[in-house]
Structure 1
Amino acid sequence: MTPAARVQAAIELLDAVIEAARSDGAPADRLIADYFRARRYAGSKDRRAVRELVYRAIRVSGPVPDSGRAALLALARDDEAIAGLFDGSAHGPAPIREGEPVARGGLAPDWLAALLAASGVDGKDAAALLDRAPLDLRVNTLKAARETVQLPVPAHVTDAPNGLRVEPGAPVESWDAFRDGLVEVQDTGSQFACLAVAAQPGETVIDLCAGAGGKTLALAAMMDNRGVLIASDSDRNRLSRLGPRAERAGAGMIETRLIDPGKELAMLAEFAGTADAVLVDAPCSGTGTWRRNPEARWRLTPERLARFVPVQERLLDIGAQLVRPGGRLVFVTCSLLDAEGADQAESFLARHPGWVPDSLDLPLGSPRGKGWRLAPFADGTDGFFIARLTRPW
């Protein structure tokens, strides 16, 4: 592919990403993979260059652009080399026309940027949400120790007790250490969220919204494969991925439960009032993960955010009924919006007199309301809100 053809390919892909964002379609990664699967002639350098252009254009565009061309023109506005590739060549984009639409910059759509600012995320904190994320690993202590794991690339120790950081894009899944279950891909912030559960060997712990089980696997390691660990979720496809991952990790204690939405408590009735800890890693806007999924900010609407909040409330109330007296309810969202964090913790405590917020003093992050916040700029992690709430005796 010529440099101009790469720009045209990026424009076509951005058109698809924009349409998917408007219609709740496939994520950008999948669209890019599908695009090149149908274009085998594109070499690895071409694929890498086009992918880089697509994500640069996504990050530089605040609100949803009018078109992929408008998004690329936003890059061209500040990069003469890209502007020169709008040359009208056979496989390149048409020359730039005076006055044609150019994507507007900024963090996100105005309403969302305002909510983030009201939640204390502005300036450098806001800009960091669009940086490229690092690639973090968690050493699986069921099989290895951080100081003994051998990786084929340089790795740096993180602030998480079993964390390592490697260069973004490293082919982790091809490594022996991954195939043998010695390491899992897990952001440092997510590792800290698991630490807040304070799971101990022999306890009964429920991961209420387990998804594909990344946090469940970390809890199994903390529990040294001893006790009861339930991974429940209403998404069959995501939950089905946990089995092979658990086998690879040697986490044989995990029991999965596919839950019908609205019937969570009935389907976990035998654990009512008995769990030592319940983790509610609730569905949320994902504003803390924009470094990995920058187009997600184009998908979020006021209506969608408004639907997340009551779901989080309901899941917290379900989790509260599973916790034993003196037990722990840990609320986690990968969001930096107070509506999905500090406000939710306050609302829960108002609905449940006697419950007490625990003091979290993690190596990274800072207090936020009755909980704890991790953020990309200050902490180098994905954005998280974490609250640990103790049921009265």
Structure 2
Amino acid sequence: MTPGARVQAAIDLLDAIIVAARDGGPAADTLIARYFKERRYAGSRDRRAVRDHVYDAIRRTADRPRDGRAAMVGLARDQTELAACFDGSTHAPVPIEPGEEGADAGAVPAWLQPLMAIPVEQDRLLGRAPVDLRVNRLKADPADIRPLFPDAAAVEGLPDALRLPEGYPVEQHVAWKDGRVEVQDSGSQMIAAACGARAGMTVIDLCAGAGGKTLALAAAMAGNGRLIAADTIRARLARLGPRAERAGAGFVETLLLDQGHEARALESLNGQADVVLVDAPCSGTGTWRRNPEARWRLTPARLDRLVSEQARILDFAAPLVAPGAMLVYATCALTDREGCDQVDAFLDRHRGFRAEPVDAPTGRAHGRGWLMTPGHDSSDGFYFARLRRGA
């Protein structure tokens, strides 16, 4: 492919990604994979170059652009070499007209900016994310694992964490294949640690998904106790079984919930849990380094629905907590509506709970909880709070 053809391919892909973001269609990675599956003539360098163009345009453009050309023209305004590819040659885009407007640059969509937590460094939300590992203490000791990853750096305050460069092929490493390490962002590890899970406890991971935090809790419990991973999405929960087997966490129980009827399925556990973790569905604003197109999918109406769903989950989670025990609320979101405002509203509704101070080695206090951001902590963005039920 010529340089111009690569740019036109990126424009075509961006058109499809913009439509998918608007209509709830497939993710960008899926669309890119489909595109090249139908175009076998594209070599590995072509695929890499087109993908880089696509993601450079996505990362640059906060508000969903009108079309792929506008996104690429905006990018070309900043890159002389890229602008030269708009030459109208065979398979290349037509030249950029004088005065033709490209998409505006930005990190956060205009409507969302006033809703972001004030300490968030918005210009740092879209950098390349490193690869963080968690040493699985059910199978290994950190001292034995560190020499296996000579490129890894320690992560302050997390003795089981190692940080590798962006794009490191962890899943090809024998230590991942045999379950001695898991890929897990340091922010997620911090939340699991904040749960204070220990051997012999009853712990419920109420929005477990594929079980990343579940497995961290299993390691903290040393494989001893009752650990229940619950979710309403069968496909996500099904991924936990093989992961738990690889990690040596066979004691994990899974519980598929019927959305809207969760309280009935959980009733037998009321008042039994030493720890309940609610890692709630959220806007994902803290994960834009990994998924920058999520900005184009988020709308005010969707945010309203997420905030409502978070409150609903917290309300059926509260009865599960034993007297004197802990509810940990967490989101990978950086809006106050999903973070400190959500916690304040919960405490207003549930007077038997109180926020417990957090003193973590990274992050900072925010409202009655704790905030971690890419700019401040080099982690994904998270908000969490520890909520203690009265004895």
Matches within 5 A, 1:160-239: 160-239=158-237
Runs (5+) with no aligned partner, structure 1: none
Partner of 1:366: 364
Return structure 1 stretches of 4+ with deviation > 4 angstroms.
Answer: none
Shift, 1:152, TM fit = 5.8
SS at match of 1:357: strand
Partner of 2:297: 299
Shift, 1:53, TM fit = 1.1
Matched, 1:139 2:149: no
Matched, 1:87 2:79: no
SS at match of 1:252: coil
Partner of 1:329: 327
RMSD over equivalenced CA pairs, Å: 1.3
Instruction: After superposing the two structures, state which structure 1 stretch, 28-37 or 254-263, moved more.
Output: 28-37
SS at match of 1:385: strand
Matches within 5 A, 1:232-251: 232-251=230-249
Instruction: After superposing the two structures, state which structure 1 stretch, 86-95 or 225-234, moved more.
Output: 86-95
SS at match of 1:90: coil
Instruction: Give a deviation string over 1:282-302, Cα, whole Å, max 9, x none.
Output: 001111111111111111111
SS at match of 2:209: coil
Partner of 1:31: 31
Instruction: After superposing the two structures, state which structure 1 stretch, 44-53 or 63-72, moved more.
Output: 44-53
Distance 1:113 1:369 in 2: 19
Distance 1:287 1:156 in 2: 26
Residue type of the alignment partner of 1:126: Q
Instruction: Give a deviation string over 1:256-289, Cα, whole Å, max 9, x none.
Output: 0100012212112221101000000000111111
Shift, 1:47, TM fit = 1.7
- Asked if structure 2 preserves the Cα contact closer than 8 Å seen for 1:17 and 1:27, the reply is yes
- Asked if structure 2 preserves the Cα contact closer than 8 Å seen for 1:151 and 1:175, the reply is no
Partner of 1:46: 46
Partner of 1:64: 64
Shift, 1:90, TM fit = 1.4
- Asked if structure 2 preserves the Cα contact closer than 8 Å seen for 1:140 and 1:183, the reply is yes
Distance 1:287 1:330 in 2: 20
- Asked if structure 2 preserves the Cα contact closer than 8 Å seen for 1:373 and 1:386, the reply is yes
- Asked if structure 2 preserves the Cα contact closer than 8 Å seen for 1:121 and 1:336, the reply is no
SS at match of 1:336: coil
Shift, 1:327, TM fit = 0.6
Matched, 1:127 2:115: no
Residue type of the alignment partner of 1:157: A
- Asked if structure 2 preserves the Cα contact closer than 8 Å seen for 1:271 and 1:322, the reply is yes
SS at match of 1:127: helix
Instruction: Assess, with a 3 A threshold, how the Cα gap between structure 1 residues 87 and 151 changes in structure 2: closer, same or farther.
Output: farther
Q: TM-score by structure 1 length?
A: 0.96
Distance 1:89 1:148 in 2: 57
Distance 2:109 2:165 in 1: 31
Instruction: Give a deviation string over 1:234-261, Cα, whole Å, max 9, x none.
Output: 0001111001111111111100010001
SS at match of 1:247: helix
Shift, 1:373, TM fit = 0.3
Shift, 1:35, TM fit = 1.5
Q: TM-score by structure 2 length?
A: 0.97
Instruction: After superposing the two structures, state which structure 1 stretch, 344-353 or 153-162, moved more.
Output: 153-162
Matched, 1:100 2:100: yes
SS at match of 2:278: strand
Residue type of the alignment partner of 1:58: I
Distance 1:99 1:239 in 2: 51
SS at match of 2:258: coil
Residue type of the alignment partner of 2:208: A
- Asked if structure 2 preserves the Cα contact closer than 8 Å seen for 1:66 and 1:101, the reply is no
SS at match of 1:97: coil
Partner of 1:320: 318
Partner of 2:353: 355
Distance 2:319 2:276 in 1: 10
Shift, 1:91, TM fit = 2.1
Matched, 1:158 2:158: no
Shift, 1:153, TM fit = 6.0
Distance 1:245 1:251 in 2: 8
Shift, 1:12, TM fit = 1.1
- Asked if structure 2 preserves the Cα contact closer than 8 Å seen for 1:153 and 1:166, the reply is no
Partner of 1:279: 277
Distance 2:107 2:202 in 1: 42
Distance 1:223 1:378 in 2: 30
- Asked if structure 1 preserves the Cα contact closer than 8 Å seen for 2:108 and 2:122, the reply is no
Shift, 1:40, TM fit = 2.3
Partner of 1:22: 22
SS at match of 1:20: helix
Instruction: After superposing the two structures, state which structure 1 stretch, 343-352 or 228-237, moved more.
Output: 343-352
How many equivalent pairs are there?
Answer: 389
